[in-house]
Structure 1
């Protein structure tokens, strides 16, 4: 584990400490978050499948496996990517970006475009832009088109789409970015994104 990952794991350990509920939890938390205490991928993978494991333990195990490129973490990380807790979503997205699993982009696109979960689409949208996968541009265009409807409250998701499309600089995004220029909260970012297309 490199120093940056050590720091990220330390942040994850600090965030999840308040979820512990006794000495057994404290011991497991220590093992999962202390570099060198357990580096066995099979032991970490077992945490994902054993019954009665708390969410924080599954999150830490999935994060460590994902950062190590172990695809057994994929399903758990995708579930966490769409969690109501934004910090869990961000942590999962980081691990998924390191995992290198070809299923990640299609799954992120499905989450981002699911209108029933649009309130939790921000991190999947940002992950799609970072992945630069074939699914990224079509999904971001779809999400942004929906967010341009009058009165739509999810302007932060729309802004993430605009920024992502600007970073990807794909000419297919021109029509939706031009439409986004008419929205006050999106106009500056949309104009900047259009500038990248030129």
Structure 2
């Protein structure tokens, strides 16, 4: 976790607002680097202590999560659904190493919640990484919900397409075939289908499948935000 830890601590350093913050930050880094049972106990207490800044709890949860300490689970799930993508990415990295069976269920709940789609990118990527029983159904459900014209969350849909290709489960073929009709998803959908042994022609200049160009009655492709 060394590279990710340095990225996290460098970012957090920019959030410090007082000399007291700097002292607390240095102590926190010392505990993280020692990696002793006593140090982990103190980090775990920090997760539930009142009036601790978010950056302190983020560092503590990241260190504990990467060490497989399940006391970090609740804080990491909270951060996975946070409004700042950089914190979501940090939480997803730690959750992927935590080894907690609750992680996939939590990620699936976040990914499939239509009210939280704006924050679903990292839960979707985490589901693909985990390869859990919940992964494929959750990614299919999320992708199908996003295959509507002018949907602004096409990056989340793209992550679903890529994740389903990586997971290699043929239950995803119908959803990936539908995704191939969307210009921003077409190339990734074709690649994912190919990984599943299905070859979809999505090489049309406008991103539509070949049958749409052949005049078979199919309508025009969705708009650029689909």
Scaled by the length of structure 2, the TM-score of the pair is 0.83
TM-superposed CA distance for 1:144, in Å, is: 0.2
Question: Does the CA contact (< 8 Å) of 1:9 and 1:33 recur in 2?
Answer: no
CA distance in 2, matches of 1:52, 1:158: 37
Check conservation: 1:10, 1:33, Cα contact below 8 A: no
- CA drift of 1:19 comes to 1.5
State whether structure 2 residue 11 is matched by structure 1 residue 12. Answer: no
> Equivalent residue for 1:80?
79
Larger Rg: 2
Alpha-carbon spacing, 1:37–1:169, altered in 2? closer, same or farther (3 Å): closer
Larger mean CA deviation between 30-39 and 81-90 belongs to 30-39
Q: What residue in structure 2 maps to residue 31 of structure 1?
A: 27
Equivalent residues in 2 for 1:36-75 (5 A)?
36=33, 39=36, 40-75=39-74
Do the aligned partners of residues 31 and 37 (structure 1) sit closer, same or farther apart at CA in structure 2, a change above 3 Å counting? farther
Question: Whole-Å Cα distance in 2 between the matches of residues 8 and 142 of structure 1?
Answer: 31
Structure 1, 20-29 or 94-103: larger mean CA deviation: 20-29
> Are the counterparts in 2 of residues 31 and 37 from structure 1 also a CA contact under 8 Å?
no
Q: Which residue of 2 aligns with 1:178?
A: 177
| Cα displacement (A) at 1:7 | 2.5
Distance 1:37 1:28, change over 3 A: farther
**Higher mean C-alpha displacement, 48-57 vs 31-40:** 31-40
Q: Aligned partners of 2:173 and 2:159: how far apart in 1?
A: 16
Size of the aligned set, in residue pairs, is 194
The CA deviation at 1:149 is 1.1
Gap runs ≥5 in structure 2: 198-226
Residues 19-72 of structure 1: per-residue CA shift (max 9 Å, x gap): 112222111111222453574111000110110000000000000000000000
TM-score, with length taken from structure 1: 0.95
Higher helix share: 1
Q: What CA RMSD, in Å, does the superposition of the two structures yield over aligned residues? A: 1.1
Cα shift at 1:8: 1.9
The DSSP-based 3-state class of the residue aligned with 2:123 is helix
